[in-house]
Structure 1
Amino acid sequence: MAAPRNIVVDTSRLVTRDEEEKKSMDMSCAAELDSPTAKRFKEGRFPLSSWEFAAAFGVILVFSTGLFCLYLSMPPTEYGKLKLPRTISDLRILKDNLGMYAEVYPTKFILGYCSTYIFMQTFMIPGTIFMSLLAGALFGVFRGLLLVVFNATAGASSCYFLSKLIGRPIVNWMWPEKLRFFQAESNVGISCSTTCCF
């Protein structure tokens, strides 16, 4: 018969599962606070710095000035016929009205079309699908496709730039509790998915 064994357990090194989860959550929260994108906003204070506000205002001013100058340079007879198309019949009417202007002033028209499309895409104004169809109707399939791809990419990039620049601080300022709740929910979901995989 074998002799009984004495087992010595060092209880000072034992860590419960709750303490381990708390420690990992504290480390992940500390990592989030140390990240360069994490900004802390003071309650009641406008969240945008003067540089961010100036950049956002500059983008809006450049687009508005460019569109206004193009609008003023058009022949006076076209003012009443210009409107953003909302239906296919509006698109046909606009194509008929702008077809002659596009043939007489092709550079000015393309510049105006691109400016309008990028402005609409940047500020998420509905109607860019009709602007895409208008490009195909006025310029043909190949040139219209190139214009639409360029304008959609430039407008989406500009929209992302503005959202990254001023969207995050404003959301953090307006709804900090909801944002923390969603971040906590996503952290729980991430930790659950990583523990289930292992």
Structure 2
Amino acid sequence: MAPVRIVIGRDEESAVEDSPTPKKPIRVESRVSLTKWEATAAAAVFLIFSVGLVCIFITMPEAEYDKILRIPRNLSDLRVLKDNLAMYARDYEAKFILGYCSIYIFMQTFMIPGTIFLSLLAGALFGVIKGVILVVFSATSGASSCYFLSKLIGRPLISWMWPEKLRFFQAEIAKRRDRLLNYMLFLRITPSLPNTFINLASPIVDIPFRIFFLATVVGLLPASYITVRAGLALGELKSVRDLYDFKTFAVLFLIGFISISPAILKRKRAYG
């Protein structure tokens, strides 16, 4: 019996592009098409995460939850939240960190925007060193969860959302199989591709998890440091765009090019 499929979007023909690799080319679709099993599995994962998150918060010490259980959407919200959380985070640090990491991982796993505000909050509440550790741990855990979730249901979703970008990514990965870690580090350090796209697309183009994980842990350090450090001066920050000005982008790209320089030198020696 053919699998039951749940289709969302326009009913158009799917395009199949030639691939530069001997692997089966990625089928790029113009609609989201999930089997009944995939949709059920995705709903189950979301439910498990949600229940776990609720269980964490109902076991935390009492507080004025209407003031602290808020996801900030702008800097004004973030400043208010920081003021409301400062004493709570100091008095119940371990439980607060557990709740913080849980929210961050949940948002990263299910591609919910707003994690940059949580990164700023980590700097404002915990300082640079502890803040960077928290952000990198949470972001890497969330990215890893997203990687495995995408492996389960991500192919039709990303083919529908970013078809051209997926083709480009597949071709670039195919050309760099022998130096994949350097390339993934470059992508993580620089804003060349959105992190959400990288998390979703990596299992689709067969990037091994060990390379994905190592590139994520190391590659997120520079941007996390910049964001967490900015959180120390939250009151002076006028816009999130101020975090990544031309100078910051230049530094990130410089670090990114340093990360791929060994691969470039190796290639030159091979052809020289």
Number of positions where the alignment pairs a residue of Structure 1 with one of Structure 2: 150
Q: Which residue of 2 aligns with 1:105?
A: 92
Cα distance in 1 for residues equivalent to 2:130 and 2:62: 28
Q: Relative to 1, partners in 2 of residues 1:47 and 1:114: Cα closer, same or farther, differing over 3 Å?
A: same
Match for residue 74 of structure 2 among 69, 72, 87: 87
Q: Which residue of 1 aligns with 2:121?
A: 134
Tell me the alpha carbon deviations over residues 73-124 of structure 1, each in whole angstroms, 9 at most, x when there is no partner: 3455422113111222221211111111112211211110000001111111
Secondary structure class of the residue paired with 1:85: coil
Secondary structure class of the residue paired with 2:64: helix
Cα distance in 2 for residues equivalent to 1:153 and 1:81: 28
Q: Structure 1 residue 116 and structure 2 residue 66: aligned?
A: no
Match for residue 59 of structure 2 among 61, 73, 83: 73
Q: Structure 1 residue 155 and structure 2 residue 142: aligned?
A: yes
| Deviation of the 1:150 alpha carbon | 0.8
Residue identity in the other structure for 1:126: P
Q: Relative to 1, partners in 2 of residues 1:135 and 1:167: Cα closer, same or farther, differing over 3 Å?
A: same
Cα distance in 2 for residues equivalent to 1:49 and 1:150: 33
Q: Relative to 1, partners in 2 of residues 1:99 and 1:171: Cα closer, same or farther, differing over 3 Å?
A: closer
Give the fraction of aligned pairs with identical amino acids, expressed as a percent: 60
Q: Which residue of 2 aligns with 1:42?
A: none
| Deviation of the 1:59 alpha carbon | 2.3
Cα distance in 2 for residues equivalent to 1:170 and 1:80: 34
Q: Which moved more, 1:122-131 or 1:52-61?
A: 52-61
User: Do the aligned partners of 1:118 and 1:154 also contact (CA within 8 Å) in 2?
Assistant: yes
Secondary structure class of the residue paired with 1:69: helix
Q: Structure 1 residue 125 and structure 2 residue 112: aligned?
A: yes
Structure holding more strand per residue: 2
Tell me the alpha carbon deviations over residues 140-174 of structure 1, each in whole angstroms, 9 at most, x when there is no partner: 110000000111111112222222220214567x7
Q: Which has the larger radius of gyration?
A: 1
Match for residue 48 of structure 2 among 47, 59, 62: 62
Cα distance in 1 for residues equivalent to 2:136 and 2:77: 23
With the length of structure 1 as denominator, give the TM-score of the two structures: 0.60
User: Do the aligned partners of 1:85 and 1:94 also contact (CA within 8 Å) in 2?
Assistant: yes
Structure holding more helix per residue: 1
Unpaired runs of 5+ residues, structure 1, are 1-26, 40-45, 191-198
Cα distance in 2 for residues equivalent to 1:171 and 1:133: 29
Unpaired runs of 5+ residues, structure 2, are 1-17, 28-32, 175-272
Q: Relative to 1, partners in 2 of residues 1:103 and 1:165: Cα closer, same or farther, differing over 3 Å?
A: same
User: Do the aligned partners of 1:120 and 1:155 also contact (CA within 8 Å) in 2?
Assistant: yes
With the length of structure 2 as denominator, give the TM-score of the two structures: 0.45
Residue identity in the other structure for 1:69: C
